Amino acid sequence: PSVASSSSRLSVPVDEAFEFPRNRLTVQETIGEGAFGIVKRAIAYGIGRVPKATQVAVKSLREDVTYQDQYEFMKEAEVMKSVKRMGSHINIVNFLGCCTQGAGPLYVIVEYAKKGNLRNYLMSFRSQENSLVTWREDLELCMLSSGNTLDGNYDKDTLSQRMLLSFSHQVARGMEFLASHKCIHRDLAARNILVTEDNVLKIADFGLARNGEYYKKKSRGQIPVKWMPPEALFDMKYTEKSDVWSYGVLMWEIFTLGGMPYPTIPQEDLYGKLMEGYRMEKPPFATDSLYDTMRRCWNHYPDDRPDFSLLVLIMERQLVRVA
Ligand code: ADE
């Protein structure tokens, strides 16, 4: 495909329902970057029928991308729009509008999440040195390291087991919504969940096109082998139940505070190990029954895995227990 210079941009028909005027958008610093895309923070005036300034995130493409990339980018926007037409959900990154007309880059405007992605957020609770992370009696997760005592004043948040459970619950809720609208994520992982200022979790990147080259080329995540079930690894079969497997891996990431799955297994050996029945161990911060839930998500046969509605109920039952 040819390279589109800034003067040769893909022409996109206007969609009045979602078009947002560029002059009501003040674009600010870059908050995320990939091989093709850039995400910037912005202020939008009067978006979503509210007559005020709202912090938003705007996604755009790099200058030197191909027509094919522009096309894929618009396809992602179309998926987000079609989900949006069916309603919003607090646990997804909702689409707010786009700028496709006039001079300037194609912009897709989505909700902003101040605390960034869940993996980095969880890792920020690990302490730097060889420290001990332990549960206190009140189930607060505390970081013990030199110069950082239990009674110290933390200027950052403290994590609790309840919060980790709430994270698992919120992701299950967002996925239940997406699954009910026949949206299969295909790359559910902590790196693709965003955290707002109020610790609301939002599933991101559910609109990405994942067939073919575009996805493979992305330096951001190649193929996320360690989040994929056998049927997706072996014959690219993606369903709600393959997202459920990934959800099990995501729970494991949550309860290891952003651990890397299967750290000692090379990607190319994973399929064989899974077929032999190998599964990850119980993370230190998970209870036996949470680990049991992970193992159910990792059942070999998709039909033997719970669906997201059941996972929501399971998480609610667990939340009541630690209330
Ligand atoms: N990085 C990527 N997308 C983002 C968003 N919507 N909010 C904050 N950071 C992001």
Stronger pLDDT, 23 or 2, i.e. the higher one: 23
The pLDDT tens digits of the residues spanning 66-96 come to 888 888 888 888 888 988 998 999 999 999 9
**Which atom of ligand 1 lies nearest, measured to the CA of 57?**
6
Residue (of 254, 252, 273, 127) closest to 195 by Cα position:
254
| Reported ipTM | 0.95
Q: Atom 3 in ligand 1: which residue has the minimum CA distance?
A: 39
Strand order in the sheet with 132-135: 132-135, 140-144, 159-160
Helices 240-255 and 288-297, packing angle to 10 deg: 150
Task: Indicate whether this model's pTM tops 0.90.
Answer: no
What are the pocket residues of ligand 1 if the criterion is a CB atom closer than 6 Å to any ligand atom?
31-32, 39, 57, 93, 110-113, 116, 194, 204
Ligand 1 pocket mutation pick from 117, 187, 201 by most atoms within 8 angstroms of CB: 117
Is residue 131 very low, low, confident or very high in pLDDT (cuts 50, 70, 90)?
very low
DSSP state of 23: G
What is the three-class DSSP state of 34? Answer: coil
| 59 belongs to an annotated ligand binding site | yes
Is residue 200 very low, low, confident or very high in pLDDT (cuts 50, 70, 90)?
very high
Q: What is the pLDDT of residue 243?
A: 97
The residue-averaged pLDDT of 100-125 equals 93
Ligand 1 pocket mutation pick from 28, 29, 38, 39 by most atoms within 8 angstroms of CB: 39
Beta bridge partners of 141: 135, 159
Looking up tokens 């493409």 gives 61
The pLDDT tens digits of the residues spanning 37-64 come to 899 999 999 998 788 999 999 999 988 8
CA of 246 to the centre of ligand 1 (A): 21
